[in-house]
Amino acid sequence: MNGTATVDPVLAGEVVDRLGLTNLVPDDDGVVAFYGAWCRSVPFDNLRKLHALRAGTRPLPGDTPDDFFRAWMAHGTGGTCWASSGALGALATHLGFDAALVVGSMLDLPEPNHGSVVIDVDGRRWLADSSLLLGSPHRFDPAGSQTARGSYRSTLGPDGDTWVMVTDSPHGDLLCRLHPGPRTADEYRERHERTRAFSVFNDKPHALRHLDGAVQFLVDRDLVVWSEEGRTTTPLDEDARREWLRAAGFSDTAVADALDG
């Protein structure tokens, strides 16, 4: 496979240490360990994007893996799909995996609106999605694949020459049609910039994290939690929202920039 960007090797080494992946072997078990560590440690969020859109900053944050990882190391931030998938793919390649960037269509819309990563290990393909943070990678299996972290669940199965993933979301089942052919980092950067004009992540804070044995998703002022007992939704006032963001590992600077400036 091909198409991923590169990441500065010194920075990549620091990220690998932070993730606890030193001496990782790029085999099937390595894919599971790599993606599991990513899900536990790197959020899906739009905090930097909100600030950049208000400030008119170009390019959007996370335009390169180096920018993405430096911000994560300093402020605990991640990014939305194009930025975070680009970074995950670059780090996977750095670790010796055969990784490729792919596109998908959330809600089965005609135009691709989602980025993800496929990792190939001796012909066995795995899906490592940096946005949905499934906890375990999906295996591309003709018989289908399932993941579960408590009540947060997903399935992946073939549909013609595409694959359909269905994942829990705050609004019920979320369908994404994946097109596994490899794409390039340049296309990712272009598609990322296009979201400046329209995206559900352009106006209100979103942040998805694995915390306290559960999957937690802040959507504006609602906190959705998938635990072993099921799913709950709790409205938060402004103080509680800021407290959750800080407890989720985002720096005071990142929180203030997203919510105030």
Q: What is the pLDDT of residue 180?
A: 84
Q: What is the mean pLDDT of the chain?
A: 97
C-alpha–C-alpha distance, residues 137 and 186, integer Å: 25
28 has a pLDDT exceeding 80: yes
pLDDT in tens, 99-134: 999 999 999 999 999 999 999 999 999 999 999 999
168 has a pLDDT exceeding 80: yes
Three-state SS sequence of the chain? CCCCCCCCHHHHHHHHHHHCCCCCCCCHHHHHHHHHHHHHHCCEECHHHHHHHHHCCCCCCCCCHHHHHHHHHHHCCCECHHHHHHHHHHHHHHCCCEEEEEEEEECCCCCCCEEEEEEEECCEEEEECCCCCCCCCEECCCCCEEEEECCEEEEEEEECCEEEEEEEECCEEEEEEEEEEEECHHHHHHHHHHCCCCCCCCCCCEEEEEECCEEEEEECCEEEEEECCEEEEEECCHHHHHHHHHHCCCCHHHHHHHHCC
C-alpha–C-alpha distance, residues 193 and 59, integer Å: 7
Domain 9-201 class, CATH top level? alpha beta
pLDDT in tens, 51-64: 999 999 999 999 99
What is the largest distance, in Å, between two alpha-carbon atoms of the chain? 50
175 has a pLDDT exceeding 90: yes
Q: What is the pLDDT of residue 186?
A: 97
Q: What's this model's pTM, rounded to 2 decimal places?
A: 0.98
261 has a pLDDT exceeding 90: no
pLDDT in tens, 65-85: 999 999 999 999 999 999 999
Q: What is the pLDDT of residue 2?
A: 61
Q: What is the pLDDT of residue 79?
A: 98
Q: Report residue 1's pLDDT band, with 50, 70 and 90 as the boundaries.
A: low
Q: Which residues have C-beta within 8 Å of that of residue 84, sequence separation ≥ 6?
A: 42, 44, 62, 68, 78, 130, 131
